[in-house]
Chain A
Amino acid sequence: MAHSAQCKLILTLHTYSSLTTDIKDSDGTSQESWVNKASPEYVVKFLKENYPDVPEYLYKLIRTAPEDGIIDWALLWRDPQPNWTSPLGRVVQVGDSAHTFLPSSGNGAVQGIEDAISVATCLQLGGGVKGGLWSKTHNKLRQV
């Protein structure tokens, strides 16, 4: 950017349960969270009870996982939104904030990086932050 810019990064780690509806699996234990764990034995028991076709050697694979290393992540729907930028154009959503990916889609990292490239380019070429033209341009180009 042409003018001097100060940049600050605030990193947060949180669970997302505050915005979610109640998600119940057989034990009511799934959450949309990186810290919600299931033990290997829980997964094996779950498969045995629900999917009897699965072979023995898959149980063996599951039991090689660390005891506290399996995450049970609830897959939740969210309606896509038409806007990723605020009315005055000073706040912009990128990555999973902007998109409604499920982790099983395997596309979150790419979209986040593409968002970052687009935000940086529009900030650089968008004629300054006042008026928010840069972020409206970003939103327009990325929504297509």
Chain B
Amino acid sequence: MLGPSAQRHVEKTWPSVYDAALKTAPDPWISFHKATGEKVAGPTPFNFKRDGAVLVNEDGEPAPDRVYRVSRPKFNAALLGQVLALGIDVTYGRKAVEYFEDETKAGVILEDGSRAEADVVVAADGLGTKSHKLINGHDIRAMSSKHSIFRTAYHVDHISSDPELDKMFPLRDDGGAVLQIWTAGDLQIIVLRAPEVVEWHIVHNVS
């Protein structure tokens, strides 16, 4: 999901990324369901609320007017295209194992023992980043939440060609995407039906 702050920045600052990955991205409305699939409410558009009241934009309309479900492959490709267009050197498949710095430079030690140095290093190596030792003085332990998530995304063909699935996971009347959220106890099922893709996530208990 991409909310308004990031959307506005990308649209203004990186228009080719916006055109390639955001402009035509699905803008789902949400509906709420029981674990049996029975609908309880919706679909309704995304609204941000503060103290229970829907926030409004500069035109007095509910804000945000759009939240994008961005395709990771499309967004990654658009960002990479921009990086290459700027002439930035890209190296693939190297694993950072340690970060370091001194008064004049910073750098990364890679798995093969080689070092890459720069004035500034941005650690964007994700949840398992190796930068905590330098930055916080220790590694960060991960603890089980006792939950796991099945997640997938694929082309919508198999849904739209099946009358039952097409009916149970429909698009909006205006052709827009719908995000169904099914909940019961520790189970949460999310199904996104968009014009081109279907995505589903199942958060489940881990015994």
Q: Which of A104-128 contact B (CB under 8 A)?
A: 104, 106-107, 109-110, 112-114, 117, 119, 123
Docked pose: A90 CA to B164 CA in angstroms? 56
Determine if B119 and A51 form an interchain contact, defined as CB atoms under 8 angstroms apart.
Answer: no
Contact with B along A5-45 (1 / 0, CB 8 A): 11111111111101111111110001010000010000100
Q: B1 near A: Cβ within 8 Å? A: yes
A85 to chain B, nearest CB (A): 7
Which B residues are in CB contact (< 8 Å) with A8?
Answer: 88-89, 91, 116, 118
**Among B1, B35, B110, B127, contact of A106 (Cβ-Cβ < 8 Å):** B1
| Interface bits B1-29 vs A (CB < 8 Å: 1, else 0) | 11101100110000000000000000000
**Cα–Cα distance between A3 and B2 once the two chains are bound (Å):** 33
> Chain A: which residue is nearest B205 at the CB level?
A50
Residues of B near A88 (CB, < 8 A) are 101-103, 106
Within 8 A of A (CB), among B137-187: 139-145, 147-154, 158-159, 162, 164-165, 168-169, 184, 187
Which residues from B are CB-within-8-Å of A109? 1-2, 6, 70, 75
A-B contact count (CB 8 A): 256
Contact B94 A78, beta carbon cutoff 8 Å = no
B150 & A57 in contact (Cβ 8 Å cutoff): no
Tell me the residues in window 46-60 of chain B with beta carbons closer than 8 Å to chain A beta carbons.
none
Minimal Cβ-Cβ distance residue in A for B118: A8
- Of all chain A residues, the one with the shortest Cβ separation from B156 is A64
Q: Is the CB–CB distance between B191 and A61 below 8 Å?
A: yes
Residues of A within 8 A of B158 (CB): 64
Determine which of B86, B94, B145, B152 lies in contact with A75 in the assembled complex, contact meaning CB atoms within 8 Å: B145
Give bound CA distance, A122 to B101, whole Å.
19
B122 interfacial by beta-carbon distance below 8 Å:
yes
Residues on B with C-beta less than 8 A from A78 are 127, 140-143
Q: Which residues of B contact A82 (CB under 8 A)?
A: 136
Closest to B200 in A: A61
Interface string of B81-102 (1 = CB under 8 A from A): 0010010111111111001011
Q: Is the CB of A61 within 8 A of B169?
A: yes
Residue of A whose beta carbon sits closest to that of B206: A25
B contacts, CB < 8 Å to A = 1-3, 5-6, 9-10, 34-37, 70, 75, 83, 86, 88-96, 99, 101-103, 105-106, 108, 110, 116, 118-129, 131-132, 134-136, 139-145, 147-154, 158-159, 162, 164-165, 168-169, 184, 187-189, 191, 198, 200-207
- Residue pairs across A and B with Cβ atoms less than 8 A apart, 29 shown, are A8-B116, A10-B94, A10-B108, A12-B93, A16-B142, A19-B139, A23-B148, A25-B148, A47-B202, A51-B204, A54-B35, A54-B36, A57-B164, A61-B168, A64-B154, A64-B165, A69-B152, A72-B149, A75-B148, A77-B142, A77-B143, A78-B140, A86-B101, A90-B101, A90-B105, A92-B122, A93-B124, A110-B3, A130-B103
